[in-house]
Amino acid sequence: PAIKVAALCGSLRKGSYNRGLVRSAIDICKESIQGMDIEYVDVSPLPMINTDLEVGGRFPPPVEEFRAKISLADCILFASPEYNYSVTPPLKNAIDWASRAPNVWANKAAAIVSSGGGFGGGRAQYHLRQIGVFVDLHFINKPEFFLNAFQQPAKFDGEGNLIDPAAREKLKEVLLALQEFTLRLQGPR
Ligand code: FNR
């Protein structure tokens, strides 16, 4: 069976470049990668983390739904901008909810891509890797994907779709590496 990828975006903005990376990853996967399906999982319906909302061992419905999707995924693709040198609140909130016992991130492979200013979100990527230590995600190390969204020639069109051919090729390499690593981590199927 095809491996299932849950793709998360740390930006809630309609024209988000990082959401554009997720859309492109889905297209690239459909067009040119066999044995892998990517589903976008929206983090925006999640309430702000508050353990008072956990009642009788149950989470609020949007949290239950989110946790189920993560739990069913073989691996995770994170696309997130950098806010003040770290991951964004919506992404951290999602990670925190799904880390509540039982931690549904545990032992999954993951990859990070990002787009933004100067370093293309690189500093947030390293914070995310650190969070991954505790929640027991296994990130691929290479290739790394950081994209400065504001350099010419334009990397994205007016709707936030990735149009740069070299970046699309690099994104495909990330997906292939994630697929290979996920299969290796899971062992014989
Ligand atoms: C930013 N941005 C930003 N960029 C960066 O390279 N390093 C940073 O530390 C920050 N900090 C930051 C804080 C806050 C609160 C905002 C709103 C923005 C810029 C940000 O990366 C840029 O706007 C991206 O385009 C946002 O990603 P999306 O929404 O296009 O996916």
Q: What ipTM did this prediction achieve?
A: 0.98
pLDDT band of 4, cuts 50, 70, 90:
very high
Residue 128 CA, distance from chain mean position = 10
Protein residues whose CB sits closer than 6 Å to any atom of ligand 1 = 11, 13, 16-18, 81-85, 116-119, 149
In whole angstroms, give the CA distance from residue 57 to residue 70. 18
Report the share of the chain in percent with pLDDT over 90: 94
pLDDT of residue 159: 86
* Nearest-5° Cα angle at 171, 25 to 121: 100
50-75 average pLDDT score? 97
Q: Is pLDDT above 90 for 182?
A: yes
pLDDT of residue 118: 85
Q: Is pLDDT above 90 for 155?
A: yes
161-180 average pLDDT score? 97
pLDDT of 75-134, one tens digit each?
999 999 999 999 999 999 999 999 999 999 999 999 999 999 888 999 999 999 999 999
In the numeric block, the tokens 């014989």 are attached to: 188
Residue nearest to atom 14 of ligand 1 (CA): 83
pLDDT of residue 152: 92
Q: One-letter amino acid identity for 2?
A: A
CA of 81 to the centre of ligand 1 (A): 6
Give the closest residue to 88 by CA, choosing from 66, 111, 115, 61: 115
For residue 98, what is the domain's CATH number?
3.40.50.360
Q: What is the DSSP letter of 55?
A: B
* Domain count of the fold of the chain: 1
**Mean pLDDT, the chain, as a whole number?**
96
In whole angstroms, give the CA distance from residue 129 to residue 29. 24
Residue nearest to atom 17 of ligand 1 (CA): 83
Name the residue range of residue 125's domain.
3-186
